[in-house]
């Protein structure tokens, strides 16, 4: 369908009533709804869809660089059009899980920033009420390359003061809150991470299961493989109009860059699901 600013959007609808939407611009999933109609992701009020900048919200890509560095912040994958390679029909009367696969390959624009030929393949699917996002990066060049990456997932919360992230206790993390270029190295001693100020932390070697309690009695669980690190970000009062309403919990490959030999590939997956934490 046509999304905001006439930008093409892929819609997935599951027979159980869940749905998801992804802009081809940035392969950014901007909506994931439960059968009740509840939206789980968050798109910032300053988001624009006219391709003048990356979409601020949903699940933007950070590739082939997470954060600042040699190239533009978070790399180029979030501000380029990806192409649909395969899609399964929606809605599926037989309850089959709908999915779409999109690809991004090198261009003059990317080669100027990152001098490698590559193919990134991103598959988004609904498994009942769950959303699965799988990224595969194939080295189509004749020399090895390194990259860092993340899925910069914005999740809606009732109020940031009620949000809690669990599953990261005991981990070493890079605290980027004071100086993003010179992060402090800390050890997480909290069972539940809560928010009372600007938070920008990269947890290294995080477990495959992390949860964000959103303040309504529900949590969003992120079950991942291949990603290795988890970023927790809330801009707090630096983004006055919206910081209360979202928390970013991001699957990342950052502590140790991925190295891919010619003809080889790297892949990582995350499945998001809504769980009831009142039971």
In whole angstroms, the minimum distance from the beta carbon of 252 to ligand TA6 comes to 8
In whole angstroms, the minimum distance from the beta carbon of 73 to ligand TA6 comes to 5
Binding to ligand TA6 (CB under 6 A) within 207-246 occurs at 231, 233
**C-beta of residue 230 within 8 angstroms of C-beta of residue 172:** no
Give the residue numbers marked as catalytic: 152, 250
**C-beta of residue 163 within 8 angstroms of C-beta of residue 195:** yes
250 lies in the site for ligand TA6, by CB under 6 A: yes
Total binding residues for ligand TA6 by CB under 6 A? 11
Residue 48 corresponds to which tokens in the numbers above?
């624009």
In whole angstroms, the minimum distance from the beta carbon of 237 to ligand TA6 comes to 15
Binding to ligand TA6 (CB under 6 A) within 160-179 occurs at 176
Compare residues 88 and 194 and give the one whose CB is closer to ligand TA6.
Answer: 194
Considering only CA atoms, give the Rg of the chain: 18
Rounded Cα–Cα distance for residues 60 and 189 (Å): 29
180 lies in the site for ligand TA6, by CB under 6 A: yes
In whole angstroms, the minimum distance from the beta carbon of 188 to ligand TA6 comes to 17
Binding to ligand TA6 (CB under 6 A) within 126-165 occurs at 152
Q: Report helix, strand and coil shares of the chain as percent, to nearest 5.
A: 10, 50, 45
Compare residues 19 and 251 and give the one whose CB is closer to ligand TA6.
Answer: 251
The CA-to-CA distance between both ends of the chain, in Å, stands at 39
In whole angstroms, the minimum distance from the beta carbon of 184 to ligand TA6 comes to 14
122 lies in the site for ligand TA6, by CB under 6 A: no
* Burial of 115 from C-beta contacts in 10 A (0-12 / 13-18 / 19+): exposed
Cα 31 versus chain centre, distance:
12
User: Which segment (29-37, 67-75, 102-110, 114-122) binds ligand TA6 by CB under 6 A?
Assistant: 67-75
Give just the sign of the alpha carbon dihedral 186, 271, 45, 83.
positive
List of residues contacting ligand TA6 (CB under 6 A): 67, 73-74, 152, 176, 180, 200, 231, 233, 248, 250
């Amino acid at each position: 369908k046509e999304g905001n600013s006439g930008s093409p959007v892929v819609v997935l609808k599951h027979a159980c009533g869940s749905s998801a939407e992804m802009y081809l611009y940035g392969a950014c999933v901007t909506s994931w709804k439960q059968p009740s109609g509840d939206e789980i992701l968050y798109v910032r009020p300053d988001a624009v869809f006219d391709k003048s900048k990356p979409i601020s919200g949903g699940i933007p890509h950070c590739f082939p660089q997470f954060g600042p560095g040699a190239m533009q912040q978070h790399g180029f994958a979030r501000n380029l059009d990806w192409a649909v390679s395969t899609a399964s029909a929606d809605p599926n009367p037989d309850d089959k899980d709908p999915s779409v696969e999109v690809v991004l390959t090198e261009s003059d624009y990317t080669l100027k920033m990152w001098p490698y030929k590559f193919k990134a393949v991103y598959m988004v699917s609904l498994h009942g009420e769950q959303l699965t996002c799988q990224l595969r990066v194939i080295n189509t060049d004749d020399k090895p390359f390194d990259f860092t990456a993340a899925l910069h997932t914005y999740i809606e919360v009732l109020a940031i003061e009620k949000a809690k992230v669990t599953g990261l206790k005991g981990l070493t993390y890079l605290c980027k809150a004071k100086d993003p270029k010179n992060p402090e190295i800390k050890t997480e001693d909290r069972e539940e991470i809560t928010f009372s100020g600007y938070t920008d932390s990269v947890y290294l070697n995080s477990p495959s299961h992390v949860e964000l309690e959103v303040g309504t009695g529900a949590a969003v669980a992120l079950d991942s493989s291949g990603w290795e690190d988890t970023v927790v970000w809330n801009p707090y009062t630096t983004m006055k109009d919206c910081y209360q309403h979202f928390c970013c919990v991001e699957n990342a490959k950052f502590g140790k860059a991925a190295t891919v030999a010619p003809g080889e590939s790297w892949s990582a997956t995350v499945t998001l699901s809504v769980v009831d934490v009142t039971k």
